[in-house]
Amino acid sequence: MSALPSPRTMYKALSRRDSAYEGIFYTAVKTTGIFCRPTCKARTPLAKNIEFFPTTASALAAGYRACKRCKPLDQPGTPPAWLTKLRTQVDRNPALRLRDTDLRAMHLEPATARRQFKRHYGMTFHAYARARRVGTAFQTLRTGKPKMTQLQSAAGYESESGFREACESLLGSSNPNHTNILPARWLTTPLGPMLALADDQGLHALEYIDRRGLERQLLRLRKSLQATILPTDHPHLDAIEKEMTLYFEGKSFLGSPSLREGAGGWVPDLFIAPKRANNAANLASRSFPIPLTPKGSDFQHQVWNQLRQIPLGTTISYGQLAKRIHRPTASRAVARANGDNFLAIVIPCHRVIGSDGSPAGYGGGIWRKLWLLEHEKKMLS
């Protein structure tokens, strides 16, 4: 899996129904709320009405439903009728959390149901339901505050109460008059959509919308800040959107700005062109200039602070990172702290690899990690 081709390339492939792009991208139509394979025989939509996604999970998490014509979720082979029925039940109410006892009540063996669902749809039914729940709620973040009935219909819910429950369980009360607001923004990137959350304190989260654990992290943030997540403007969201755009375009070292001495002390020099950089060693103590407010333990903050010291375009091992925080035997704990980082890219946990040089793990997926490392090397060339 690699980053998405250019929108122009993907649209041409879609227009030709080019089978060479099967599995490379999925096409989502804003006006219908449905996503398809690039080879779908449905009429080709206008380019302005299309979004592209690298995975089915990211399309689901963006609030789209699978096309019934080209069936982008289906793997080779026809799913049995009972499996289709199970998926239909999840579609009708993704907020419903099916447990083993629920499956047995439906005369289904839980282990078989999980195995067959993953085989035919590429993910477990729990992962599918989670993506649908997240996607349902994220529709409100992407579109502002449209009529609830419109969102409900687009998400495939039969009842407004079920739809509202799915939204409120993730984002908070729909009547936030007496609560804090945590501003949110949807960011489009070459690696798929990302969600940014920030307030006056700084950036609280920046993650891929299909990141496993994002739903749980949002619930923690809401609880700790006693806030409702809503799509609204904030200067820090403006800043991170600009910084991420420049980072992905490779036009500056916004991922590692230089520091210059100013009247108030050391401040970031944000717009150094790559060709003016002295060498990689000078990039060591640089980071995105936006204030970051990650929630974690003292140990996690030690790890995250050290991550921000890793030079752009370079990598270190988990063991080396453990030594840098003076905990040489804590490689596994360091790896867990990396996995608990929900400020992707700005706290560059993607720059930590296995001692054998393997990419090891990454919350956003190994393919994204490899793309980021290659992208940063190009920024230095």
70 is an active site residue: no
Tokens of 329: 């035997």
Whole-angstrom distance, CA of residue 124 vs CA of residue 130: 10
The predicted pLDDT at position 378 comes to 87
Q: What is the structure's pLDDT at 286?
A: 46
Map out the domains of the chain as residue ranges. Answer: 7-66
206 or 289: whose pLDDT is higher? 206
Residue 335 CA to residue 348 CA, distance in Å, equals 13
Three-class SS state of 35: strand
Residue with more model confidence, 54 or 251: 54
With contact defined as beta carbons under 8 Å apart, do 210 and 55 qualify?
yes
Neighbours of 86 (CB within 10 A): 21
Note whether 277 and 253 are within 8 A (CB).
yes
| Radius of gyration of the chain, Cα coordinates, nearest whole angstrom | 22
State the CB neighbour count (10 A cutoff) for residue 75: 11
- Continuous segment of H or E residues that includes residue 323: helix 318-324
Pairing of strands 258-262, 265-269: antiparallel
At 285, is the pLDDT very low, low, confident or very high (cuts 50, 70, 90)? very low
Distance CA 119, CA 125 (A): 11
Check 40, 67, 70, 349 and give the catalytic one: 349
Cα gap 64→360, rounded to integer Å: 31
Kindly tell me if the per-residue pLDDT of 273 is higher than 90.
no
Q: What is the pLDDT of residues 82-107, one digit of tens each?
A: 888 888 887 777 666 778 898 898 88
The pLDDT score that the predictor gives to residue 188 is 87
pLDDT tens digits for range 96-151: 677 889 889 888 888 888 888 888 888 887 778 778 877 877 777 776 654 444 45
Question: What is the band of 238 on the pLDDT scale with cuts at 50, 70, 90?
Answer: very high
C-alpha 67/C-alpha 343 separation (Å) is 32
Neighbours of 103 (CB within 10 A): 18
The first and second tokens of residue 52, run together, are: 């592209």
pLDDT for residue 11 is more than 90: yes
**At 352, is the secondary structure helix, strand, or coil?**
strand
% of the chain exceeding 90 in pLDDT: 38
Is residue 288 pLDDT above 90, yes or no? no
Domain 7-66: give its CATH architecture.
3-Layer(aba) Sandwich (3.40)
Amino acid at 72: P
How high does pLDDT run on average in the chain? 81
Output the pLDDT for position 36. 95
